Chains A and B, each alone.
Chain A
């Protein structure tokens, strides 16, 4: 059973979003997503400063099994990426909600976060997918 922290928000495409104190959000892929993909061997991240639309492809996580696009959960600007993943992509498997984070985004509108799924809704979605 995969972990779904209650204090995060989620997308249908299996990204998680955490509000940070400075008004930015941290984005990663969920435990469920990394479990489906298997051992991560390569992560391609966007350049900082890039403007993203909601739902836009913004990164690629590549596992032994397949390459998978990561979609921006909301509109905003990339303010930081997790450079460590370049040499240690396995952190996405080991700590998807921690050291395996992908990028930090400065949202164009903070209220957009409220449109994302909460933990219960994300849980329900996973269950509907695996049925």
Chain B
């Protein structure tokens, strides 16, 4: 038996098909993964993401610590209430995890890291925090609900009213407010607008039910994966891991090399990698034929392997298979993927594939 989130019984009652994810029994879908996907792109859906690990960092030197710990620069967050996506690297420039940093107070930051990497992340953060005397505290007593879709914010306001009134002030993505017990962020992992709400586990079922009553449909991890893939968002463990750097994973935009004097873990390795040059491209693929692209399939050009799919799947919005792929070099012209002995044509594109309800890539040759 896996670990259960505080919403486990709610999922069972809703007919969820459960699946093991990083040691947790999580809803894969509640009937149809594809319908849940469309619901989020077109209206509003909600995900139980309570399995994710919430970590509070407190201390006089927490900002110095984070400037060293993560590859993006927390000084981009000028004021409390801002959030930042970043990778946490090892000394070799490999990605230990990707995470969001929330600036709560000058001496209090919150991290949300992946569930599957919880143990190694906590061990690493705790070890690195020691010289900075920063307190590392996991907030396992908190649940987390992601409400996503073009109607997500409206429906959340309607469902929760006063509870989330302060969230109406969130003008931009990657901002958040703390309202009593609730931590409401305008973030997500779907390519749609919406909120991620961290809240006491004891309140989570009641809030979930209120959201459901307002027409926010439950969606499972299956839809979450196809939504993030369409949005061109990386999945840790698939698209990057400790053996790959952000520079080879389409995440160069999350690495802040400026200011040059900021020494973060992995910096020297990334600089050396940049100087060596010839980094492979990280690209999107759209299958032009019928079929589905899968993780680890080889990308071929003129019969030679030029790269590998890191995340592949079916895009409900495009009605075609799509993938993220790491190339050894670059690609131009026609490429193929071999599926069950047949060479099928794919088009190399720049992700995202779909965001904010719209297709973002041209499908015709």
Q: Which residues of A contact B (CB under 8 A)?
A: 38-39, 41-42, 44, 60, 62, 64-65, 67, 86, 90, 93
Contact = CB atoms under 8 A, between A and B. Distances in A.
A42 B291 contact: yes
Contact of B314 (A44, A60, A64, A93): A64
A64 B291 contact: no
A41 B222 contact: no
Interface in B12-51: 17, 28-29, 32-34
Contacts of B17: 38
Contacts of A39: 29, 32-34
B315 to A, nearest CB: 9
B313 interface: yes
A86 B226 contact: no
A42 B226 contact: no
B290 A86 contact: yes
Interface in B252-311: 290-292, 294
A67 B29 CA distance: 18
30 contacts: A38-B17, A38-B28, A38-B29, A38-B222, A39-B32, A39-B33, A41-B34, A41-B292, A41-B314, A42-B290, A42-B291, A42-B292, A42-B314, A42-B321, A44-B290, A44-B291, A60-B340, A62-B291, A62-B292, A64-B33, A64-B34, A64-B222, A64-B226, A64-B314, A65-B222, A67-B294, A67-B340, A86-B290, A90-B34, A93-B32
Nearest to A57: B340
A56 to B, nearest CB: 15
Nearest to B28: A38
Interface of B: 17, 28-29, 32-34, 222, 226, 290-292, 294, 313-314, 321, 340
Contacts of B294: 67
B247 to A, nearest CB: 31
Nearest to A90: B34
A67 B17 CA distance: 19
Nearest to B292: A62
A95 B291 CA distance: 21
B298 to A, nearest CB: 16
B318 to A, nearest CB: 11
B22 to A, nearest CB: 17
A65 B32 CA distance: 12
Nearest to B319: A41
A6 to B, nearest CB: 26
Contacts of A44: 290-291
B135 to A, nearest CB: 41
Q: Which 6 pairs of residues, A with B, have the shortest CB-CB distance?
A: A41-B314, A39-B34, A62-B292, A39-B33, A64-B33, A64-B314
Nearest to A69: B340
A62 B29 CA distance: 17
Given A39-B29, A60-B340, 14 more contacts: A38-B17, A38-B28, A38-B29, A41-B34, A41-B314, A41-B321, A44-B290, A44-B291, A64-B34, A64-B313, A64-B314, A67-B292, A67-B340, A90-B34
Contacts of B226: 64
B110 to A, nearest CB: 33
A5 B340 CA distance: 33
A65 B314 CA distance: 9
Contacts of B321: 41-42
Q: Among the interface residues A41, A60, A93, which one has the most CB atoms of the partner chain B within 10 A?
A: A41
Contacts of A62: 291-292
Contacts of A93: 32
A98 to B, nearest CB: 18
Among B28, B222, B292, B321, the one with the most A-chain Cβ atoms within 10 Å of its Cβ is B292
Contacts of A41: 34, 292, 314, 321
A41 B315 CA distance: 10
Nearest to B287: A42
B103 to A, nearest CB: 37
A41 B321 CA distance: 9
Contacts of B291: 42, 44, 62
A41 B316 CA distance: 9
Contacts of B292: 41-42, 62, 67
